[in-house]
Structure formats: C-alpha cells, structure tokens
Amino acid sequence: MTTRILCVFSMLLTAVLCSAQTSPSSSAVPQEIPVFDVTAIDKTIDPCLDFYQYACGTWMKNNPIPPDKARWGRFDELFERNLYILRDILTEAQTPGKHTATESMVGAFYGSCMDESAIEKKGNAPLTPELERVHGIKTKADLIRQVAAMHRNSTPVLFAFYSQPDMHVSTETIAYLDQGGITLPDRDYYLKDDPKSVETRQKYVEHVQKMFELAGDKPEVAAAEAKTVLTVETGLAQASMDRTVRRDPKTRDHKMTVAEIADLAPNFDLTVYFADNGSPKFTSLNVSNPDFFKQVNEQLNAVPLEDWKIYLRWKTINEYAPLLTNAFVEEDFNFNGKYMSGRKEIEPRWKRCVKATDENLGMALGKLYVDRTFGAEGKERTLKMVQSIETAMRQDIGQLTWMSDTTKKKAYEKLNTIVNNIGYPDSWRDYSSVAIKSDDYAGNTVRAGTFEVQRDYKKIDRPTDRKDWGMTPPTVNAYYRAPMNDINFPAGILQPPFYSKLMDDAVNYGAIGVVIGHELTHGFDDQGRRYDAEGNLRDWWTAEDAKEFEQRVDCTVNEYSGFVSVKDDKGEVKLNGKLTLGENTADNGGLKLAYMALNSIIDDTQVKPIDGYTAAQRYFLAYGQIWCQNVTDQEARKRVLTDSHSPGRWRVNGAVQNSAAFQQAFKCKPGQPMVAENACHVW
C-alpha cells in the first residue's frame, strides 16, 4: 500500500484477471478522443432540466458498455487508447533485436504473461510451495511468521503493514500497522443483512469452494473450508473501522512504541512479525486502528489454528489465481468480474498483460511511454495552467466572507507551498535487482511484488521522499497527497479528452483545468484542511472558521445524499454523502476555480461562439463531457459502498446545480432542476 492519495477518480482495479483468450487483435492505436464533441450532445433535452443528459445523452446512447467492461466512460476510452500505445511499446520490446535493459525487462515480463502454454504447462506448480508452507504451520508463532512471509511477497492477509509519513512530522516516514485481511471489497459485505448482501456472501462462499477444489481439495472438504473462510473474514470485518469514519485522519492517528502495540495485542506476536517481515528495525510506529488489533487479538485465540491455516491458504490461492492456469483465471473472473462487476466477458489477454506490466514494472514501462508520448512542452503548458488556477484559488480565498484573516493567512501559506508534479518523476526507479524470466509469469509477478514491498519498507525511519510518485506515468488519473502537500498529474491524463493544443481555452479549462482545480481543492476539503502547509496533522483554523466550514460541508453532504446512484430490481441505492464529501467538495471547487482562471485570460463577451456555443457554455460542456459514462448496475452498487467518488451523472449535475456561472451561461431559471434551491458552496 502506498501513501494515501486523493485522486480524481477511482479505478478500483480489482478485476485485472487473466484467461485463455489469446489472439491479440492487430488493430492499431485508436484515434485521439475528441475533447469537445458536439455529436455527444442530446439536444432534445433542456440543459437546465438535466445537464448531464444534455452534455452526454447521445454519447451514452452510442457507447454501450463493451462486454469486457463494467463501466465505460471518457476516462476509460483514454485508458483503453493508452493500452494500445503500451502494447506497441511492449510488442517491439519483445521482438528480437537491439534493446535497452529497460526494454528487454518489460518485454520479457509482458512475454511471460502472454505465454499461456508455459503457464498451462506449469499447472499448480507456482502455488504448491506456498501452500506447503501454510500446511507446515504448527503453532501460532508459525502462523505469524507465515503472515510475515506473505506480506514480504505482497500477498495481503490478516492486517496491513506499510510506510507513510509521520502524521505530525511529515518530513519523517515511519511504519504503519492497519486493519486488513478481508477479501470482499468492503466490511459492509460481511455485516449487512439486506437480501443483496446475503446473496453476495452465498456467491462468495461458492466461489471460494471452487477455488479450493481447483487447488486440489475434495468438494466436501472445499465446501467446509469456504464456510470457514467466511467466518474468519467476518470476524476481521467486525473489527474493522467503517470507511466513512476513517475519512477523518484523527481516527487513524495513534502513534505508539513497538512495546505498546505488542502488549496491546500479544497474540499477534508482533515482535516476531517485525523481525521476520523484512522491514528495518524501528521502535515506534502508527497503529491506524488499535481496536482492530485488540479485537482480532481475541479471535486469534478463539479461532482454532486449523481455521487460520484454511484462511491463509485461501488468501494465497486468491492472490495467485490471476497468475495461474485458465481454470483459475476463469473462476476468478466469474466471481469478481461477472458477479461483482457485471462484466460479460473477460478482457483479451493482451490487455490484461499490458495492465500487469504497468502494475508490476510501471516506472520502467512508464519511461518508455513518456519517451514516446510526452515532451517537455507538455510539462510546460500544464504548469502554466496550474499556476493560473492557483492564482484563482488565492483570489477565491481572499473573497470568502465567512473566513477570518487569521485563517486566511494560514490558507495562503498552505496554497503557496503546494508542490506541482507533472508528467513523470525526476528520476526513474531502478528495477535491475528484479529477476525477470521470459517463461515465469507467476515468479516474475511475485519478485516484482517483493521488490515493491522492500522499496516501501526501506523508507521506514528515513526522511520522507517527496519525489516518489504514487501513480505510474501512463495512468489516466491525478492526485493530491495531504502529507506531501503536492498535486500530481501523470502524463497519461495530459492529453485528449482532457487537453488538446488544438482546442480553445474554454474547452481546455473545462476539462483538464477542472481536474487541476479539483486536486488543488483536495488540500482544503474535509480531510485536507486538517493538514497544514508542511503536511502535518495540525489544526490551523480558528474555532469560529472551523464551525463555518463544517456548516458548509454539511450542506454538501445532505445534497449528495439525496442523489440516486442505482435503481434496479434489487431496489434503489442513494449516494453516501459523507463518503463522497471530499470528492464532491473538490468537484465543486474545481469547477469554480478553473472558471475564474479562464475568465482571467479571456473575455467571454469578446470571444466568438464556436459550434453555436459561447465560451462559457463550452467550458461547462467540456466539464460535463469528461464524465460521460455508462455503468453496469452491479458496478454502480459496488461503488456506492467503496468509491469515494460520485458517479459521472452527479459529478456533473451536483456541481452545476451549485454554480451561478453555469446557470447564467445557459440562462437557467430558479425552480428548474439545475438550479439548486439551497446551493452549497464550500470554496
């Protein structure tokens, strides 16, 4: 797990799975995606009634979800296009000839993933030694040693251990212990009793049983094991803190000594774990959820050792499944892809292999991607836009009537120290110690995972490395990190439909401009505002101003809690306004700030309409259109529980309802749906 980041959208790559489909299609890289698309608009609807439908209606009609996807939107279109570019790079790197070390390495990794016959021939062999190690566990101390071994090769199990900046001294990175160990995407899946949750658990148990059978267990044994897995994981879920509660960093702020946590949860044998997990020696750490360790400490005694072993076997099988034979890959997809996300088909193998290369050797593949797609000029023009939006934020803070000068001074300080990282890191990661073999996909993945875990652990008790990136360059996303106080835009997002040098300013500011404003606002949302200019968890607000802020975010919570995300035969599900608060605040702030920045460089009354739309209208349409998407009901349901971002429809309609500039641009009148009765404004 890397540093907690707040990104512009969540990819939830839980279903990067493998199968036997080969035949990489020979089609070339798709054309650039239009930034502003008049043909996407549904002109039969009044923009003041439903702006999302207006901006995206025809696009949605003409772009059904491809059978191998759970969601299909403009972000996904661009990500898909990147996959083709990356495949070209990898195919070339794989072809015999003269290659750099980086090319040879990523080419060999990709080739090992594509070589299905080698994978089939190996059968369960990559899994067997791991399962034998679990089988050999005789005592609770053995159990914790095996957990340490699994963490070393990046298999999530029982709890989480990672490095992150100290919440109060952000210049120092320290060790963190955290809750973990469940397999379904959220604790709610284990704890809720509505019919859909009950059904999901039943399907999960069936899936776990099938996977145990594939690993060689008899059906009746596998059936009993699957029930045990659900019982053990339900215990972990009960001890876990709710996702929404965790949003407040203060709930995760518990620094203690190694001796203190070892005393608090003696059954974990944490001193054995720390000695065995490959981390450097340390004396203090942050325990994000001490209650989890207290509660699971009891479970470690109450649950028989044999049951823990079954659970560890399952976590191993589950982690290895995408790396194994087609039988494992298919069953993995049947549950995670089909049942949980509503995908109809598994993605072609080459796409899964490109993604796997990006996940495992992303900073090496990313270097080749940047060389091909992103020049110094891209960095420069993005930086210019960022600066203009930071200026807008400075003005915005200055104009706030509810904030005192004392707090404003601190807010300026924070804004002035934000670091902008654009495109790619200054120095490239050195993977030369990772052995990549052309015929060992599972081994390659485990070795790359081990390398990444080691890299993370090495940061413990060292100065924080603010230059370390949390996303690979081809990623179509962006993020803000509160402990670093930095905003980051990987090269992958700095292209159409987010930015095009062929487009007018209004359109570019409505697309990438709002994304920039969104990330900037994260520094000042309900989470970000808790951190100061240095990235420390420190209250810099006067009590009065904090109260004013809370009132404003409460308005946003209530507003978004009323929006319906999915309505199907299983009922209607509304958004969780508290879980999505930070993202909704960032969307509203981003839309306002980028518009202010645009107006500082153009005079709307002087700019001639293009395609029949004024500059202001094009700005809002460009914003609306980056969120055009279709989503399966299953995926929408999952995201309500797990995704801190609202779905596209509400990212657009929620924000424009609060925007007087939007209402002016489209001449919307009070009483119309796109004019909120009580508009919410935080920034």
Please give the positions annotated as active site: 519, 587
Is residue 621 within 8 A of residue 613, CB to CB? The reply is yes
Q: How far is the CB of 627 from Zn ion (least distance, A)?
A: 13
Question: Which position has the token pair 């982690």?
Answer: 319
Is residue 296 within 8 A of residue 236, CB to CB? The reply is yes
Q: Which is nearer to Zn ion, 332 or 583 (CB)?
A: 583
Q: How far is the CB of 482 from Zn ion (least distance, A)?
A: 12
Q: Which is nearer to Zn ion, 367 or 530 (CB)?
A: 530
Question: Which position has the token pair 């796997």?
Answer: 356
CB-based contacts of 384: which residues, under 8 Å, 6+ apart?
none
Long-range contacts: 404-412, Cβ < 8 Å, 24+? 404/542, 404/544, 404/545, 406/542, 406/545, 407/540, 407/541, 407/542, 407/545, 410/532, 410/533, 410/540, 410/541, 411/524, 411/540
CB-based contacts of 358: which residues, under 8 Å, 6+ apart?
86, 365, 366, 472, 474, 475
Q: Which stretch binds Zn ion (CB under 5 A): 50-58, 196-204, 585-593, 596-604?
A: 585-593
Q: Which is nearer to Zn ion, 471 or 668 (CB)?
A: 471
Size of site (CB under 5 A) for Zn ion = 4
Footprint on residues 398-417 left by Zn ion (CB under 5 A): none
Is residue 6 within 8 A of residue 528, CB to CB? The reply is yes
Q: Which is nearer to Zn ion, 57 or 523 (CB)?
A: 523
Q: Which is nearer to Zn ion, 213 or 583 (CB)?
A: 583
| E strand intervals along 431-525 | 462-463, 479-481, 486-490
Three-state secondary structure string covering 31-55 = CCCCCCCHHHCCCCCCCCCCHHHHH
The bridge status of strand 172-179 relative to strand 159-165 is: antiparallel
Footprint on residues 4-23 left by Zn ion (CB under 5 A): 6, 8
Between CA 239 and CA 299 the distance in angstroms is: 10
Q: Which stretch binds Zn ion (CB under 5 A): 122-130, 228-236, 456-464, 578-586?
A: 578-586
Three-state DSSP class for residue 567:
strand
Is residue 490 within 8 A of residue 473, CB to CB? The reply is yes
Q: Which residues of 163-182 are buried (b: 16+ CB within 10 A; e: fewer)?
A: bbbbbeebeebbbbbbbbbb
- Residue 535: DSSP 8-state: S
Q: How far is the CB of 159 from Zn ion (least distance, A)?
A: 27
Q: How far is the CB of 611 from Zn ion (least distance, A)?
A: 30
Q: Which is nearer to Zn ion, 8 or 83 (CB)?
A: 8
Q: How far is the CB of 8 from Zn ion (least distance, A)?
A: 5
Q: Which is nearer to Zn ion, 316 or 658 (CB)?
A: 658
Q: Which is nearer to Zn ion, 6 or 327 (CB)?
A: 6
Q: Is the peptide bond before 497 cis (omega within 30 degrees of 0)?
A: yes
Alpha-carbon Rg for the chain, nearest whole angstrom, is: 25
- The separation between CA 614 and the C-alpha centre of its own chain, rounded to angstroms, equals 35
- Is residue 586 part of the contact set for Zn ion (CB under 5 A)? yes
Q: Which stretch binds Zn ion (CB under 5 A): 160-168, 197-205, 486-494, 583-591?
A: 583-591
Q: How far is the CB of 515 from Zn ion (least distance, A)?
A: 9
Structure tokens at 225: 């094991």
Q: How far is the CB of 576 from Zn ion (least distance, A)?
A: 15
Q: How far is the CB of 655 from Zn ion (least distance, A)?
A: 13
Between CA 536 and CA 357 the distance in angstroms is: 35
Contact positions vs Zn ion (CB under 5 A): 6, 8, 583, 586
